Structure 1
Amino acid sequence: MTALAIDNLSHGFGTRRALSEVNLSVEPGSFAVLLGPNGAGKTTLIALATGLYNAQHGDIRIFGHSIRRDPIRALARLGVVFQMPTLDLDLTVGQNMAYHGALHGLSRGEARERAGEELGRFGINDRRDDKVRSLSGGLRRRVEIARALLHRPKLLIVDEATAGLDIAARQLLLSHVRSLCRGGLSVLWATHMLGEVEPSDRLVILHQGTVRWDGRAGDLAPNEGLEAAFLRITGGPS
């Protein structure tokens, strides 16, 4: 069963069309990159795919469950890291994790155990008693991904999570999330950074609200190169 299926998705704000007949799918255990320049419609697409508001046209299904018709079952299988940070800066790392666990119906003990596992994957379990405000940007993003995985979703959607991070922190996040796919997690990674794309990735290029390329990244332009192909497709720098 497809992890994420987006069919003929269209949405607008007033007279501005943000998305037009977008089709996109993410297969189980795969790492798919949603690439596009700023303003391409990536954040709107993710807002719709995560149920922040309803699409005007089209359907979105998570492991077969429509967000419109069966939102509880659909969203229970979803973990999200939004572009804007959502951690409570005045709570500790552990308190942020516990609150998320409670929202998903986990007992206090179960949430604590899972928090230790997820934070441990990032090597930051020793910071669970620190207030989020004291953490660097890179550490905060690690906590956000750990929190998004606390309820063990089958699909993780990440929107521009590496924006503002240095190269080392960005590479660490990418490496960790890619490794989760080998354990069966499905990932949709939205970015405008070409350097975050690998040849083996499923690549969807979004520009001006429409899909301009959908396929294996290495097949886009083996002779031309990804950057040149991206500029040709979008008509400008990312």
Structure 2
Amino acid sequence: MTAKNALDVNELSFAYGSKKALDEVSFAVNAGECTMLLGPNGAGKSTLFALITRLYDSRQGSIKLCGFDIRKNSRKALAQLGVVFQQTTLDPDLTVMQNLRYHTALHGIGRKQANRRIQEELERFEMYDRRREKVRQLNGGHKRRVEIARALLHEPKLLLLDEPTVGLDVPSRQGIVEHVHELVKETDLAVLWATHLIDEIYPEDQLIILHKGRVMAKSNVDQLLKKTGASIHDVFSKLTRGQA
């Protein structure tokens, strides 16, 4: 584990009864990098996220967030983490501001600092002018922007995005992808983004291909394409057919 690693997963395995969901998964996510976790449905992406966030627990392998073991130092480890799940967790009957203030209160952030952080993150995602609107008035793309802004309020070192563009129209999806990549460029934030959509991946990203609970490839996207002489789609198709 190097100092720049925001996340270090080592020999992680997990099973639902006799069905193995993850099989000795190992990888690292570095500060200032967007790492795309690419896999078909059932690959183990959501199980992996559940283990990182401690919704599930595994006794096989280890997970460290900024050097803190999530079992031995859960509070310090999870304090480094911001999360956006597939299903929205915003309260639709509260305003954007009320939802975000509730999050800052949970993290013990004082009112003055909370207002500053909320303004910073909403402005980053071009949502500050809509802070007094109820969440139910927002479209899917704008809700996702608010959720990502909320996940960043306590200034985590690692942002987990679990297929955050599912169900969005193409312009909204492209907007989220662009915003997150710009965020990584502007800050030292580490991002682990689970997806099954190849067009969300940028050449400068790090790529992990997960299939049937196993890591099939770990590489910088640009280097992988140069090495194989193939497209991401072709590499992905070959690996997930079990031919490599």
Q: CA deviation at 1:220?
A: 2.8
Aligned to 1:61: 64
Q: CA deviation at 1:218?
A: 2.4
Aligned to 2:32: 29
Q: In the alignment, does 2:187 pair up with 1:188?
A: no
Extract unaligned runs of 5+ from structure 2: none
CA–CA distance in structure 1, aligned partners of residues 167 and 103 of structure 2: 25
Aligned partner (choices 126, 145, 149) of residue 146 of structure 1: 149
Extract unaligned runs of 5+ from structure 1: none
Aligned residues: 236
Aligned to 1:231: 237
CA–CA distance in structure 1, aligned partners of residues 235 and 80 of structure 2: 35
Aligned to 1:207: 211
Q: Deviations over 1:191-218 (max 9, x none)?
A: 0001111222110000000000001112
CA–CA distance in structure 1, aligned partners of residues 222 and 235 of structure 2: 11
Q: CA deviation at 1:55?
A: 1.6
Q: In the alignment, does 2:10 pair up with 1:7?
A: yes
Aligned to 2:82: 79
Q: In the alignment, does 2:44 pair up with 1:41?
A: yes
Deviating beyond 6 angstroms after TM superposition, the runs of 4 or more aligned structure 1 residues are none
Q: CA deviation at 1:128?
A: 0.9
Instruction: Normalising by structure 2, report the TM-score.
Output: 0.94
Name which of structure 1's ranges 20-29 and 211-220 shifts more when overlaid on structure 2: 211-220
CA–CA distance in structure 1, aligned partners of residues 52 and 70 of structure 2: 8
Aligned to 1:198: 202
Instruction: Normalising by structure 1, report the TM-score.
Output: 0.96
Name which of structure 1's ranges 166-175 and 81-90 shifts more when overlaid on structure 2: 166-175
**3-state SS in 2 of match to 1:51:** coil
Q: CA deviation at 1:66?
A: 0.5
CA–CA distance in structure 2, aligned partners of residues 56 and 86 of structure 1: 28
Q: CA deviation at 1:56?
A: 3.0
Aligned to 1:130: 133
Residue identity opposite 1:176 in structure 2: H
CA–CA distance in structure 1, aligned partners of residues 39 and 160 of structure 2: 16
**3-state SS in 1 of match to 2:234:** helix
Q: CA deviation at 1:6?
A: 0.2
CA–CA distance in structure 1, aligned partners of residues 120 and 79 of structure 2: 20
CA–CA distance in structure 1, aligned partners of residues 111 and 176 of structure 2: 27
Between the aligned residues of both structures, percent identity stands at 50
